[in-house]
Amino acid sequence: MPDPQKAVRLADYQPYTHCVDSVDLTFRLVPEATRVTARLTLRPNPERTGRNALRLDGEGLKLLSCTVDGKPVKPEIDAESLTIPAKSLPAGAFTLETVVEIAPDANTALEGLYMSKGMYCTQCEAEGFRKITYYPDRPDVMSRFRVRIESDLPVLLSNGNPVGRGKGQAEWDDPWPKPAYLFALVAGDLKAHSSTFVTVSGRKVDLNIWVRPGDEDRCAYAMDSLIRSMKWEEEVYGREYDLDVFNIVAVDDFNMGAMENKGLNVFNSRYVLASPETATDDDFARIEAIIAHEYFHNWTGNRITCRDWFQLCLKEGLTVFRDHQFSGDMRSAAVRRIEDVVALRARQFREDAGPLAHPVRPESFVEINNFYTATVYEKGAEVIGMLKTLVGDAGYKRALDLYFDRHDGDAATIEDWLQVFEDATGRDLSQFKLWYSQAGTPQLKVADDWKDGVYTLTFTQANPPTPGQPKKDPKVIPINVGLLNPNGDEVVPTIMLEMTRAKQSFRFEGLAARPIPSILRGFSAPVVLDRKGLAEERAFLLAHDTDPFNRWEAGRALAKDVLAEMALKGAPPPPAFLDAMASVVFDESLDPAFRALCLRLPGEDDLAQTIHAMGRIPDPAKIHAARREMAGALAIRLGDGLQRLYKDLDDSAPFSPSAEQAGRRALKMSALGLLTRRDGGKLAASAFARARSMTEEIGALSALLDVREGQAELAAFAARWRRDANVMDKWYGLQIMNAEPSEAAAVTTRLTETPAFDWKNPNRFRSVIGALAANHAGFHHQSGAGYRTVADWLIKLDPLNPQTAARVSTAFETWPRYDAARRKLARAELDRILAAPGLSGDLREMVERMIAAR
Residues serving a catalytic function are 294
309 is a site residue for ligand PHE (CB under 6 A) = no
Residue 347 touches ligand PHE, criterion: CB under 6 A: no
Site string for ligand PHE, 113-142 (x = CB under 6 A): ----------x-xx----------------
Q: Give the nearest distance from C-beta 582 to ligand PHE in angstroms.
A: 41
Query: Which lies closer to Zn ion via its Cβ, residue 320 or residue 825?
Result: 320
Which of 260/798 has CB closer to ligand PHE?
260
- Give the number of residues in contact with ligand PHE, rule: CB under 6 A: 11
Supply the minimum distance, in Å, between the C-beta of residue 623 and ligand PHE.
Answer: 32
Q: Which of 372, 594, 721, 765 binds ligand PHE (CB under 6 A)?
A: 372
Residue 271: CB minimum distance to Zn ion, A:
12
CB of 474 to ligand PHE, least distance (A): 31
At 579, the amino acid letter reads D
DSSP secondary structure letter of residue 770: I
Specify which residues 173 forms β-bridges with. 146, 161
DSSP three-state, residue 323: helix
Minimum Å distance from CB 125 to ligand PHE? 4
Judged by CB under 6 A, which stretch of 254-262, 330-338, 635-643, 839-847 contacts ligand PHE? 254-262
Instruction: Quote the least distance from Cβ 321 to ligand PHE, whole Å.
Output: 13
259 near ligand PHE (CB under 6 A): yes
> To the nearest whole angstrom, how small is the minimum distance from the Cβ of residue 312 to ligand PHE?
9
Provide the residue type at 241 as one letter: Y
Q: Which of 258, 314, 638, 791 binds ligand PHE (CB under 6 A)?
A: 258
List binders of Zn ion among 459-518 (CB under 5 A): none
Minimum CB distance to Zn ion, residue 764 (Å) = 23
- Report the residue closest to ligand PHE, judged by CB: 256
Comparing CB distances to Zn ion, the nearer of 237 and 552 is 237
Please identify, using beta-carbon distances, which residue of 281 and 316 lies nearer to ligand PHE. Answer: 316
Q: Stretches 22-30, 226-234, 253-261, 477-485: which one binds ligand PHE (CB under 6 A)?
A: 253-261
CA dist 771 → 444, 543, 578 (Å): 33, 36, 30
Q: What is the separation, in whole angstroms, between the first and last Cα of the chain?
A: 29
CB 297 to Zn ion: min, Å: 6
Binding flag, residue 323, ligand PHE (CB under 6 A): no
| Minimum CB–partner distance for residue 319 and Zn ion (Å) | 5
- Residue 748 binds: one of Zn ion, ligand PHE, none (C-beta under 5 to 8 A by kind): none
Please select the residue that binds ligand PHE; options are 137, 294, 545, 842, rule is CB under 6 A: 294
CA-to-CA distance for 715 and 722, rounded, in angstroms? 10
Residue 274 or 312: the one with the smaller Cβ distance to ligand PHE is: 312
Peptide bond into 126 cis (omega under 30): yes
- Judged by CB under 6 A, which of 137, 260, 367, 605 binds ligand PHE? 260
CA distances from 655 to 178, 291, 552, 692, 726 (A): 42, 22, 28, 8, 20
Of 312 and 626, the one with the shorter C-beta distance to ligand PHE is: 312
Q: What is d(CA 441, CA 609) in angstroms, rounded to the nearest whole number?
A: 12
Q: Which does 580 bind (CB under 5 to 8 A by kind): ligand PHE, Zn ion, none?
A: none
Q: Greatest CA separation found in the chain?
A: 89
| CA–CA distance, 295 with 264 (Å, rounded to integer) | 10
CB 188 within 8 A of CB 114: no
Binding segment toward ligand PHE, per CB under 6 A, in 256-264, 490-498, 731-739, 817-825 = 256-264
Please report, as residue ranges, which positions from 304 to 333 form the binding site for Zn ion (by CB under 5 A).
316, 319
Residues found in the chain: 854
Shortest distance in whole angstroms from residue 507 CB to Zn ion: 43
Which one among 316, 706, 798, 813 touches ligand PHE, defined by CB under 6 A? 316
Alpha-carbon distance of 134 to 143, in angstroms, equals 14
Work out whether 182 is an interface residue with ligand PHE (CB under 6 A).
no
Which one, 281 or 316, has the nearer CB to Zn ion? 316
Check: CB of residue 20 under 8 Å from CB of residue 41. yes
Q: What is the DSSP string of 249-303?
A: EEES--SSSEE--TTEEEEEGGGT---TTT--HHHHHHHHHHHHHHHHTTTBTTT
- Pick the binder of ligand PHE from 248, 256, 736, 751 (CB under 6 A): 256
Closer CB to ligand PHE, residue 239 or residue 827? 239
Contact 670, 706 (CB under 8 A): no
Which entry of ligand PHE, Zn ion, none binds 811, CB below 5 to 8 A by partner kind? Answer: none
Q: Residue 318 CB: number of other CB atoms within 10 A?
A: 23
Interface region with ligand PHE, contact rule CB under 6 A, candidates 192-200, 257-265, 475-483, 558-566: 257-265
Rg from Cα positions in the chain = 27
Nearer to Zn ion, 290 or 666 (CB): 290
Amino acid at 106: A
Taking alpha carbons only, the member of 383, 285, 330, 379 closest to residue 665 is 285
Q: Is 248 in the site for ligand PHE (CB under 6 A)?
A: no
Q: Give min distance, CB of 807 to Zn ion, in A.
A: 15
Beta strands in 182-274 (DSSP E): 185-188, 191-198, 204-211, 245-251, 258-259, 264-268
Q: What are the helix and strand counts (H, E) for the chain?
A: 29, 31
CA distance 657 to 228: 15
Q: Which of 218, 293, 388, 475 binds ligand PHE (CB under 6 A)?
A: 293
Q: Which is nearer to Zn ion, 258 or 542 (CB)?
A: 258
State the binding partner of 372 from Zn ion, ligand PHE, none, CB within 5 to 8 A by kind: ligand PHE
- Cβ atoms within 10 Å of 645's Cβ, excluding its own: 23
Rounded CA separation 789/759 (Å): 14
Nearest to 84 by CA among 178, 18, 181, 142: 18
In sequence order, which residues have a C-beta less than 8 Å from that of residue 345 and are 6 or more positions away?
Answer: 606, 609
Angstrom distance (rounded) from CA 106 to CA 692: 42
User: Which of the choices Zn ion, ligand PHE, none does residue 726 contact, using the CB cut-off of 5 to 8 A by kind?
Assistant: none
347 DSSP 8-state letter: I
367 binds, among Zn ion, ligand PHE, none (CB under 5 to 8 A by kind): none
* Between 312 and 414, CB nearer to ligand PHE: 312
Shortest Å, Cβ 687 to ligand PHE: 36
Q: At what angle do helices 281-296 and 220-237 cross, to 10 degrees?
A: 50
Q: Is 585 helix (H, G, I), strand (E, B) or coil?
A: helix
- Tell whether residue 466 is a contact of ligand PHE (CB under 6 A): no
Task: Return the number of the residue (316 or 729) whose C-beta is nearest Zn ion.
Answer: 316
Going by C-beta distance under 8 Å and a sequence separation of 6 or more, which residues neighbour residue 207? 194, 195, 196, 197, 223, 226, 227, 245, 246
State the virtual CA torsion across 718, 719, 720, 724 in degrees, nearest 10: 60
Build a one-symbol-per-residue string for 66-105: x at contacts with ligand PHE by CB under 6 A, - elsewhere. ----------------------------------------
Nearer CB in complex with ligand PHE: 372/455: 372
**CA distance linking residue 775 with residue 772, whole number of Å:** 5
In 690-817, which ranges are E strands?
none
For residue 287, give the amino acid letter.
Answer: I
Q: How far apart are CA 373 and CA 849, in angstroms?
A: 14
Site residues for ligand PHE per CB under 6 A: 123, 125-126, 256, 258-260, 293-294, 316, 372
Site residues for Zn ion per CB under 5 A: 316, 319
